[in-house]
Amino acid sequence: MRAIILAGGKGTRLKPYTTTIPKPLVPIGDEMPILEVVIRQLVKFGFRHITLTVNHMANLIMAFFGDGSQWDVKIDYSLEDKPLGTIGPLTLIPDLPDNFLVMNGDILCDLNYKEFYEFHIEKRNDVTVSVYKRDAKIDFGVLKYNSDNLVTEFIEKPTYHFDVSMGINCLNRFIVEQLAKGEPYGFDNLVIDGIKKKQKIAAKPFSGFWLDIGRPDDYDSANENYKELKEKLGF
């Protein structure tokens, strides 16, 4: 099984942590970089070839992870000379397999990556998106009104529930082969264009533990609960 990890972002949401080091090397609990946790998990679930797409402070990331032998996995790199979004970097990788996992390098979760990959293969999806239920609390009173501007409803500080993309996906290679090489292209573009083309894009709900460490609140939570987090993620 092959995994592509997107590790080229600047991590602007995590400043000042990312002022001197790239986001994938920001430590969790002052012990281990975020990206090392992800790599250890992928290895545990049977992935033996990992490609890191790098750009910002690429030399630091490459120097830290090397060829992956420390974790008994093959690690290689795809270097961007400009930001290409979350899907564009895949167009620079010449040896993509028929199906592969692609994920952000700042995700902490207890998803079984092997089962997710096998689900994608079994269902013969073009794209499989791992999704998570997340609450969004609005700190204002919300009004609803009709075409005559007459108020019909008032909701005090409501909480809305959404199924959000976790930043963990499986793709078929032909999806990438349709794209312009080396041009910026995001996952949002991929899904919107794929729906128009009637590609088979499936969601796989996940109800376990998930944090987007690129968000300061989630990063702080990971550090505050580091001991429990280690046990939950098994590293």
What are the sequence ranges of the domains in the chain? 2-134+163-233
The confidence score (pLDDT) of residue 157 equals 94
Q: Which residue has the higher pLDDT, 194 or 234?
A: 194
pTM: 0.88
Q: Mean pLDDT score of the chain, rounded to an integer?
A: 90
Alpha-carbon distance 145 to 128, whole Å? 38
Which DSSP letter does residue 85 get?
A: T
pLDDT for 27 equals 82
**String of DSSP letters for 88-125:** GGGGG-TT--SEEEEEETTEEE---HHHHHHHHHHHT-
For residue range 81-120, list pLDDT tens digits in order.
888 989 999 999 999 999 999 999 888 899 999 999 999 9
What single letter denotes the amino acid at residue 169?
Answer: N
Which of 140, 114, 126 lies closest to 199 in space, CA to CA?
126
pLDDT at position 194: 96
The pLDDT of residue 145: 95
**Rounded CA gap, 25 and 32, in Å?**
8
What is residue 190's predicted lDDT score, i.e. its pLDDT? 96
At residue 91, the pLDDT reads 96
Angle between helices 58-65 and 34-44 in degrees, nearest 10: 40
pLDDT at 34: 86
Of the two residues 74 and 22, the one the predictor is more confident about is 74
Integer angstrom CA distances of residue 59 from 2, 20, 136, 214:
23, 13, 37, 21
Copy the structure tokens of residue 160.
Answer: 């809305």
Query: d(Cα 37, Cα 43) in Å, to the nearest integer?
Result: 10
Mean pLDDT of 157-178: 95
Q: What is the Cα 197 distance to its own chain's centre?
A: 24
Phi, psi of 152 (to 5 degrees): -110, -15
Mean pLDDT of 122-141: 95
- Check residue 214 and give its pLDDT: 73
Mean pLDDT of the region 135-141? 91
The answer to whether 41 and 18 are in contact (CB under 8 A) is no
Write down the pLDDT at residue 31: 79
Q: What is the pLDDT of residues 1-41, one digit of tens each?
A: 999 999 876 545 555 455 557 778 888 877 788 899 999 99
- pLDDT for 183-227, tens place per residue? 999 999 999 999 999 999 999 999 998 988 777 777 777 778 787
CA distance 211 to 221: 9
The pLDDT assigned to 119 comes to: 98
More confident: 77 or 21 = 77
Backbone angles phi, psi at 60, to 5 degrees: -65, -40
CATH architecture type of domain 2-134+163-233 = Alpha-Beta Complex (3.90)
